[in-house]
């Protein structure tokens, strides 16, 4: 069912530089996105993995991986593929903000405090949602600490996701940095399917199984 499908996956964090040695980022390891990309590739999908900086040894061919650093670089890379993919899966933890001005030289430690003015980064999944065709599927990810379902509904509607994968950092073993994860999947009809804590490789299989169900429903109708 996935063989020959052209699928874009974003993974990992982005780094938004304040000066040549300091940056804003987050704790995303990229493990979830890489696990999904590798599972899809094993099923015969035409995978394009666009990844921020990670320490992961990737099992995909080099031609299937695009390395970026910043949110703007990730958006540019994604836009190159938006029109040609069947499915887009947005697992990357893209920084919401970047420094308004990046200093060309290292900032010296002179004052007791320092103010960094930030400006909002573009929302890559939202940009895809604005241009996606009816045949294209979009899957989102959201890590929340509270009001998980309500925030998930808002993101799904705004970004035109076909379903969204939700998780939190409230329990040990889920969220950023772990080899395991505990997810719930929120669908467009607001149905929720929850899964127990599993390895991220097993979580990837669960997500892809739901994706295959979505594709099957589209083909039937």
Q: Does residue 1 lie within any of the structural domains?
A: no
Residue reference for tokens 């920084």: 95
pLDDT reported for residue 1: 82
170 is catalytic: no
- Please indicate, yes or no, if residue 134 is contained in any of the structural domains: yes
Cα(208)–Cα(42) distance, integer angstroms? 12
Say if 188 falls within a structural domain: yes
pLDDT in tens, the chain (221 residues): 899 999 999 999 999 999 999 999 998 999 999 999 999 999 999 999 999 999 999 999 999 999 999 999 999 999 999 999 999 999 999 999 999 999 999 999 888 898 999 999 999 999 999 999 999 999 999 888 788 898 899 999 999 999 999 987 767 766 677 889 999 999 999 999 999 999 999 999 999 999 999 888 766 55
Number of domains the chain contains: 1
**Pairing relation of β-strands 46-51 and 163-167?**
unpaired
Say if 18 falls within a structural domain.
yes
What are the helix (H) ranges across 83-131? 124-131
> Of these residues, 26, 59, 121, 157, which one is catalytic?
26
Q: Range of 203's domain?
A: 6-220
- Identify the helix (H) or strand (E) that includes residue 39: helix 31-42
216: CATH = 3.40.50.10300
């Amino acid at each position: 069912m996935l063989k020959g499908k052209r699928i874009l996956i974003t993974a990992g964090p982005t780094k938004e530089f304040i000066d040549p040695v300091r940056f804003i980022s987050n704790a995303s390891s990229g493990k979830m996105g890489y696990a999904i990309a590798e599972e899809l590739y094993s099923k015969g999908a035409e995978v394009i993995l666009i990844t921020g900086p990670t320490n992961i040894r990737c099992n995909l061919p080099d031609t299937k991986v695009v390395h970026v650093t910043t949110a703007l670089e990730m958006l540019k890379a994604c836009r190159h593929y938006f029109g040609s993919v069947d499915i887009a899966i947005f697992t990357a933890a893209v920084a919401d903000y970047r420094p308004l001005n990046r200093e060309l030289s290292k900032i010296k430690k002179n004052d007791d405090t320092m103010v960094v003015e930030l400006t909002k980064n573009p929302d890559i999944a939202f940009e895809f949602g604005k241009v996606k065709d009816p045949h294209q599927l979009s899957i989102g990810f959201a890590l929340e600490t509270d009001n998980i379902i309500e925030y998930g509904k808002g993101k799904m509607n705004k970004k035109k996701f076909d379903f969204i994968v939700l998780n939190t950092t409230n329990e040990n073993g889920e969220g950023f940095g772990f080899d395991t994860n505990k997810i719930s999947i929120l669908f467009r009809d607001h149905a929720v399917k929850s899964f127990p804590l599993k390895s991220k490789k097993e979580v990837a299989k669960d997500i892809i199984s739901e994706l295959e169900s979505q594709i099957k429903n589209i083909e039937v109708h």
